[in-house]
């Protein structure tokens, strides 16, 4: 598992050390996020989903 996260050249290794390592996102546990952040995420996903559904339905009925 550790071999998957090794950079393939020195430039990428340097970039990861300076800017932060985005390769470790697979290790992020989303269940450990704060409740407020989780609820905000759920709200945004629900809001956009319902909005897209309403736009499609209203477009079909009123066109």
Domain ranges in the chain? Answer: 2-61
Q: What CA–CA distance (Å, rounded) separates 2 from 23? A: 11
Q: Please, what's the largest Cα pairwise distance for the chain?
A: 58
pLDDT at residue 16, rounded to an integer: 76
The model's confidence at residue 8, banded by pLDDT at 50, 70 and 90, is confident
Find the helix or strand (DSSP H, E) in which 53 lies: helix 35-61
pLDDT at residue 36, rounded to an integer: 93
pLDDT at residue 24, rounded to an integer: 57
Residue of 36 and 30 predicted with greater confidence: 36
pLDDT at residue 54, rounded to an integer: 97
Distances (CA, A) of 53 to 16, 18, 61: 40, 42, 12
Contact 7, 16 (CB under 8 A): yes
The pTM of this model reads 0.52
């Amino acid at each position: 598992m550790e071999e998957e996260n090794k950079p393939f050249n020195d430039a990428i290794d340097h970039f990861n050390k300076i800017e932060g390592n985005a390769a470790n996102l697979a290790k992020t546990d989303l269940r450990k996020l704060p409740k407020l952040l989780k609820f905000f995420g759920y709200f945004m996903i629900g809001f956009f989903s319902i909005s897209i559904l309403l736009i499609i339905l209203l477009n079909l009925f009123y066109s």
